[in-house]
Amino acid sequence: MYLEIIVSPLQPCGFGYALIKALKENDPSAGSLLLITILTTSTSLILCYYGQEVSTQMENLHANAYMNSWYEEKPKVRRDLLQMMILTSKPTVLNYRRWIHFDYVTYATVLQGIYSYLSMMAHFIDE
């Protein structure tokens, strides 16, 4: 799993480089390379999207528990709401060994790295 998470942002770079070369040489395989580049880029998107979704839902759960009219509830329900608010007060993030947090910020960083690498490679292909 560790290697897959580290390598998945690098795959679009390799396929993007092959796509740039294929487009420069009018290679008919450019269409399939474009599809593969999009698919490999979307693997990081899926992880980051669901990581962001988990964080957002936990924030919403905390806010809704707080904004609820808890003071009108029975003591048992108040106790349950208090426990829920305590558990959801810390930000919950989907991460890998507390090293990589999966959210939109991470995905934007991955896309920025892919774009930088492909821009550099496109410059070297022209020369």
pLDDT tens-digit profile of 93-115?
777 777 778 888 888 988 888 88
pLDDT value, residue 49: 92
The count of other CB atoms within 10 Å of the CB of residue 62 is: 19
| Residue 92 vs residue 48, higher pLDDT | 48
Count the residues in the chain. Answer: 127
* Mean pLDDT, the chain, integer: 83
Residue 68 CA, distance from chain mean position: 31
Paired strand residues for 127: none
Against a cut of 0.85, is the pTM above it?
Answer: no
CA angle 92, 94, 96 (to 5 degrees): 130
Asked if 116 contacts 61 with a C-beta cutoff of 8 angstroms, the reply is no
pLDDT value, residue 35: 93
**pLDDT, tens digit, for every residue of 64-100?**
877 877 777 788 888 888 888 888 888 777 777 777 7
